[in-house]
Amino acid sequence: MAVKLGNGNWAVKEDKLLAYNDNSGLFFNKEFDFSRGTSATYVAKDGLIKTAGIQPNIVNNGDFATDSDWTKGSGWSISGGKAVGSATGASLYQADGANYTSGKLYKVTFEVLDYVSGSVRPEVTNVAGSYVSSNGVFIQYITATSSSIGAELKGSTFTGSIDNVTVQEIQADTPRIDFTNDTKGHLLLEPIRTNLFVYSQAFSTWQKINNIVVTDNFTTSPDGTQNSSKLTFDGTTNGRVEKPVPTTIGNQYTFSVWLKNDNLADPTQVWIGNSQFVQGEYVTITNEWQRFTTTQTADGTTEYPRVNVNQVGSIFAWGAQFEEGYPTSYIPTTGATSTRNADVCNNSGSAQDFNSEEGVLYAEIASLTSDVSSDNRIVLAKSGDTNNVIRLYYNTTTNTIEYKIRVASSNVCDLTYDLGDSTEFHKICGKWKQNDFALWVDGVEVATDTGGAVFPANTLNTLNFSNANASGDFFYGKVRNVQVFTEALTDEQLEKLTS
């Protein structure tokens, strides 16, 4: 009998992450409680950037196959599978506000075709999105504030047509299974972060220095829609786009952006960074999208994160982020800064799933940074009791894993090991048995302790990605696999498990 999570077998059910109990070949679901409360992105199996928890489309007839379901204001008509607009201040809308919930976040997607002039924006329950004024597929995020008019498109001297309108609620408490450089996928758990850029995709809103030309919505981006920008340089020294951001002197910030070459002769000479040359680095871009990051220390109360090119040619850019600390997953913004709350994953299993007297806690994990600011804990414990607990965690010493067991307020085992690079995946397990404790990493027994008591029977009853009381020391990292075994495996078994 054991609790198992991951290892290529992932299942998500609304705000639950499903693990399972394997009992003599019979499988029983074991749920982790999951919460975040905000939207969050991840890299899907197909390589595209997606938002977790997307629900079915609410809009009726968003492909305008018929002249129905939409109320057409002055200047709007429906024909040829498109909504055709020659509208000044008038809306094309669906009065289905009852399908929307105040406080919920909605993803709005729409395509502009046959653009001539003016601009058009989406609205959800009369909450306005951002105006757009070009052809392309656009994605915006809007939080409903009522159950008045549902979806609408509002023209501002707009002449053009609209197609493929969808509005989808985002279930904010959906776990993310991320496939960044990983064919099996991993559970992504991250701390709270804010993207300090107010426009993360529309580079035309950034400052354009030394003859740079920006064309938004030029080509397909890493999220699969036509919303990336083309940056064209004429060879003037320090041609760049930049965005001023308030900062705190002495704090570290990470600037990240997806870049792709169009026709630069020397793609090794694209510079990203902050206001000073020492606050950045040259990156080598290719004909494929790649996310580039640079983490620097602020030396002023305002920094100017930028993309700088000193040659003739153009590149494509998408998904810029400026956050305090090490790099985390992309947080899109469309007119204001945006915050992604921390992922919290806890409370799986029960006393019958674990053996308090002997066993193995196994995890295949990678940290988000080699220098963690607080203990990041995977914990097998007596619920709410920090004095009866097994902890496997990254401690605050760079790249170090620690395996600690506390029984009735006393530490009976405390083993540490330098992983070399904790941001790479490692297979790690801790064994416990009366007077027989061991830490194994990547097929090698790296530390032992041959003295110490274990827990009374039926003590351990919960598996958490946080402290035993589920209120602190949250685990932030990448999780491919977690298993709890109800017997102390042999050295041969432990070597095989962690190899």
Contact 261, 267 (CB under 8 A): yes
243, part of any domain: yes
- Per residue in 268-310, pLDDT (tens digit) is 999 999 999 999 999 999 999 999 999 999 999 999 999 999 9
Give the integer Cα–Cα distance in Å for 212 and 238.
Answer: 10
Count Cβ atoms below 10 Å from residue 24 Cβ, excluding itself: 5
User: Where is 50: in which H helix or E strand?
Assistant: strand 49-51
Q: What is the pLDDT of residue 402?
A: 96
Give the integer Cα–Cα distance in Å for 199 and 320.
Answer: 8
Q: What is the mean pLDDT of the chain?
A: 93
Both tokens of 323, joined, read 């956050």
Both tokens of 482, joined, read 């977690």
Give the integer Cα–Cα distance in Å for 77 and 83.
Answer: 6
Q: Which residue has the tokens 């129905």?
A: 68
pLDDT class of 24 with cuts at 50, 70, 90 = low
The residue among 438, 111, 477 whose CA lies nearest residue 328 is: 477
Domain, as residue range, for 262: 193-339
For CA atoms 146, 108, 322, 273, the dihedral sign is negative
Give the integer Cα–Cα distance in Å for 107 and 144.
Answer: 11
Q: Are residues 222 and 330 in the same domain?
A: yes
SS3 string, 417-440, reads: EECCCCCCCEEEEEEECCCCEEEE
Q: What is the pLDDT of residue 26?
A: 65
Q: What is the pLDDT of residue 2?
A: 78
**What is the DSSP-derived secondary structure letter of residue 466?**
S
Q: Are residues 81 and 129 in the same domain?
A: yes
What's the mean pLDDT in 247-269? 97
Contact 329, 443 (CB under 8 A): no
User: Where is 484: in which H helix or E strand?
Assistant: strand 477-485
User: Where is 488: in which H helix or E strand?
Assistant: none
What is the SS3 assignment for 76? strand
As beta bridge partners, residue 290 has 259
Q: What is the pLDDT of residue 163?
A: 96
More confident position, 202 or 136 = 202
Q: What is the pLDDT of residue 13?
A: 82
The residue among 415, 420, 406, 404 whose CA lies nearest residue 446 is: 415
Give the integer Cα–Cα distance in Å for 275 and 316.
Answer: 21
- Per residue in 150-192, pLDDT (tens digit) is 999 999 999 999 999 999 999 889 999 999 999 999 999 999 9
The HSE-up count of residue 401 (CA atoms within 13 Å, CB side) is 29
Q: Are residues 11 and 82 in the same domain?
A: no
Give the integer Cα–Cα distance in Å for 393 and 379.
Answer: 8
Share of the chain above pLDDT 70, in %: 99
Contact 322, 247 (CB under 8 A): no
Q: What are residue 98's phi and psi, to 5 degrees?
A: -65, -20
Q: Are residues 272 and 294 in the same domain?
A: yes
Split into its structural domains, the chain has a count of 3
Q: What is the pLDDT of residue 174?
A: 93
pLDDT class of 214 with cuts at 50, 70, 90 = very high
Q: Are residues 365 and 489 in the same domain?
A: yes
Q: What's the chain's length in residues?
A: 499
Q: Are residues 311 and 296 in the same domain?
A: yes
pLDDT class of 222 with cuts at 50, 70, 90 = very high
Q: What is the pLDDT of residue 136?
A: 81
Q: Are residues 225 and 275 in the same domain?
A: yes
- Per residue in 82-134, pLDDT (tens digit) is 999 998 989 999 998 888 999 888 999 999 999 999 999 999 999 998 888 88
Indicate the residue among 339, 363, 378 that finishes a domain. 339
Q: What is the pLDDT of residue 231?
A: 98
Q: Are residues 201 and 263 in the same domain?
A: yes
The HSE-up count of residue 253 (CA atoms within 13 Å, CB side) is 30
Q: Are residues 292 and 323 in the same domain?
A: yes
Give the integer Cα–Cα distance in Å for 311 and 234.
Answer: 7
Give the integer Cα–Cα distance in Å for 467 and 452.
Answer: 22
Q: Are residues 220 and 99 in the same domain?
A: no
Distances (CA, A) of 441 to 29, 222, 401: 28, 35, 10
**What is the DSSP-derived secondary structure letter of residue 351?**
G
DSSP letter string over 171-216?
Answer: -TT---EE-TT-SS-EEEE---EEE--SBSS-GGGSEEESS-EEEE
Share of the chain above pLDDT 90, in %: 81
Q: What is the pLDDT of residue 86?
A: 92
Give Cβ neighbours of residue 46 (< 8 Å, ≥ 6 apart). Answer: none
pLDDT class of 25 with cuts at 50, 70, 90 = low
**Is residue 238 scored above 80 in pLDDT?**
yes
CATH number at residue 160: 2.60.120.260
Give Cβ neighbours of residue 239 (< 8 Å, ≥ 6 apart). Answer: 209, 210, 211, 212, 233, 308, 309, 310
436, part of any domain: yes
- Per residue in 421-470, pLDDT (tens digit) is 999 999 999 999 999 999 999 999 999 999 999 999 999 999 999 988 87
The residue among 59, 41, 58 whose CA lies nearest residue 50 is: 41
CATH number at residue 21: 2.60.120.200
Q: What is the pLDDT of residue 1?
A: 58
Q: What is the pLDDT of residue 498?
A: 98
